[in-house]
């Protein structure tokens, strides 16, 4: 499931909201250069002073906390910007050298009456976006807008709200979070947080490697499914971290399940009567990552079988095999780490090379 802060923190803030207790949300709305946390990272400060989540990984957390306590009580939202210069090395700021802008605002039934709707949609793994006009616009105090794919069309809304809705709908459709400027006589800057369903991780094969991969995949916020036709091995008890364990032939499951570009399919069997049909079915989906475990010998034999089954060169080019990055992994846990590292690298388009090497190359220029 998706979450505003985290799956553990969101229910706590919902309890505060339902009880009529005001709290503060601090949200990273913009970054420049190197920043420890991405845009959309959120910290909540409760009525009791407790803090949930993070906006900086620690370097400016104290200053944000103080602002959040103040704004929780005053109700006046504020933008806080934190940067770094050599002269400020020991002052409050980002030691990583970047700049981060944080929106701090009070949340209660008056300032954000649909806050509970936002969290409930996210908990249901429904696509939902929250838009707020940043301080400085005449209508900023009223602009807390929730949009889902089935919301009323923008043209049916009041002018300002409709203009906001058009921007939000576009960003939600591609899962983008960030700040946008709304043109007009008085330009409005909007922050839009898109919460989209958790990416799917489909694991084929009820193996020890699958158990380790399901555990790490869940830690990364993925919706994990383990699929295997053998009822003795495909049980919830063997895979407690999987959201679902499906006992059927994997190619049937893949053919009947809606997958998208955010889906990763990992075939961890060593059985050609399972993995070849499963891969052929996966090729017919828009899954963004398709990988298969095995040695180089297994890999070459699998390619031969896939071609014999009718796989095209374009389909085979989508296959990550042998699966994972070269970490020298041997244990199921290490192999699971190498697989997820490759999934993340594939999603972001990053090289997967050590950052240390990149730093030395940058310094040598």
Here the CATH number for the domain that contains residue 339 is 3.40.50.720
Judgement on whether residues 131 and 275 belong to the same structural domain of the protein: no
pLDDT at residue number 363 = 54
Judgement on whether residues 110 and 132 belong to the same structural domain of the protein: yes
pLDDT at residue number 88 = 46
pLDDT at residue number 89 = 43
Judgement on whether residues 178 and 204 belong to the same structural domain of the protein: no
Residue tagged 């707020």 (tokens): 132
pLDDT at residue number 87 = 42
Judgement on whether residues 99 and 28 belong to the same structural domain of the protein: yes
Judgement on whether residues 30 and 115 belong to the same structural domain of the protein: yes
Judgement on whether residues 243 and 324 belong to the same structural domain of the protein: yes
pLDDT at residue number 83 = 77
Judgement on whether residues 21 and 47 belong to the same structural domain of the protein: yes
pLDDT at residue number 32 = 86
Q: Using CA atoms in the order 82, 83, 85, 88, what is the torsion angle rounded to 10 degrees?
A: 20
Q: How many CB atoms within 10 Å of residue 6?
A: 15
Judgement on whether residues 15 and 143 belong to the same structural domain of the protein: yes
What would the two tokens of residue 75 be?
A: 């109700």
pLDDT at residue number 330 = 93
Judgement on whether residues 331 and 212 belong to the same structural domain of the protein: yes
d(CA 206, CA 138): 57
Domain count along the chain: 2
End residue of a domain, out of 134, 160, 195: 195
d(CA 96, CA 99): 9
pLDDT at residue number 358 = 63
What would the two tokens of residue 180 be?
A: 């946008």
**Nearest 5°: phi and psi at 200?**
-85, 140
pLDDT along the chain (365 residues), means of 10: 89 98 96 84 97 85 94 94 57 61 95 95 92 73 80 90 91 92 77 94 97 96 96 96 97 96 94 94 97 94 96 97 94 97 92 75 57
Judgement on whether residues 180 and 233 belong to the same structural domain of the protein: no
Instruction: Give residue 131's domain range.
Output: 8-195
| Number of residues assigned to the chain | 365
Judgement on whether residues 40 and 121 belong to the same structural domain of the protein: yes
d(CA 188, CA 139): 9
Q: Is the pTM of this model over 0.85?
A: no
Judgement on whether residues 254 and 338 belong to the same structural domain of the protein: yes
């Amino acid at each position: 499931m998706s979450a505003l802060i985290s799956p553990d923190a969101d229910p706590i803030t919902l309890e505060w909201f339902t009880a009529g207790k005001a709290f503060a949300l601090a949200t990273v709305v913009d970054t420049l250069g190197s920043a420890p946390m991405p845009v959309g990272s959120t910290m909540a400060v409760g009525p009791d002073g407790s803090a949930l989540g993070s906006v900086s990984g620690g370097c400016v957390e104290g200053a944000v906390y103080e602002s959040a306590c103040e704004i929780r009580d005053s109700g006046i939202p504020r933008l806080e910007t934190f940067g770094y210069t050599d002269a400020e090395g020991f002052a409050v700021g980002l030691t990583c050298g970047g700049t981060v802008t944080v929106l701090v605002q009070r949340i209660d039934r008056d300032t954000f009456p649909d806050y509970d709707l936002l969290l409930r949609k996210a908990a249901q793994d429904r696509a939902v976006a929250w838009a707020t006009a940043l301080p400085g616009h005449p209508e900023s105090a009223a602009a807390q807008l929730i949009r889902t794919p089935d919301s009323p069309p923008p043209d049916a809304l009041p002018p300002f709200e409709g203009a906001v809705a058009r921007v939000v709908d576009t960003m939600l459709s591609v899962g983008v979070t960030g700040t946008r400027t709304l043109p007009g006589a008085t330009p409005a800057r909007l922050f839009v947080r898109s919460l989209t369903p958790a990416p799917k991780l489909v694991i084929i094969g009820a193996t020890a490697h699958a158990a380790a991969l399901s555990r790490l995949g869940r830690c990364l916020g993925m919706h994990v499914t383990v699929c295997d036709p053998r009822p003795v091995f495909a049980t919830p008890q063997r895979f407690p971290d999987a959201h679902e364990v499906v006992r059927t032939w994997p190619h049937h499951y893949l053919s009947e399940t809606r997958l998208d570009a955010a889906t990763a399919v990992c075939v961890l069997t060593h059985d050609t009567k399972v993995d070849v049909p499963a891969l052929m079915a996966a090729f017919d989906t828009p899954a963004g990552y398709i990988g298969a475990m095995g040695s180089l010998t297994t890999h070459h034999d699998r390619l031969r079988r896939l071609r014999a089954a009718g796989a095209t060169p374009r389909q085979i080019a989508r296959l990550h095999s042998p699966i994972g990055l070269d970490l020298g992994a041997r244990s199921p846990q290490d192999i699971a780490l190498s697989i997820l590292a490759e999934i993340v690298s594939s999603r972001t388009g990053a090289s997967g090379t050590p950052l240390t090497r990149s730093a030395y190359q940058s310094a040598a220029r």
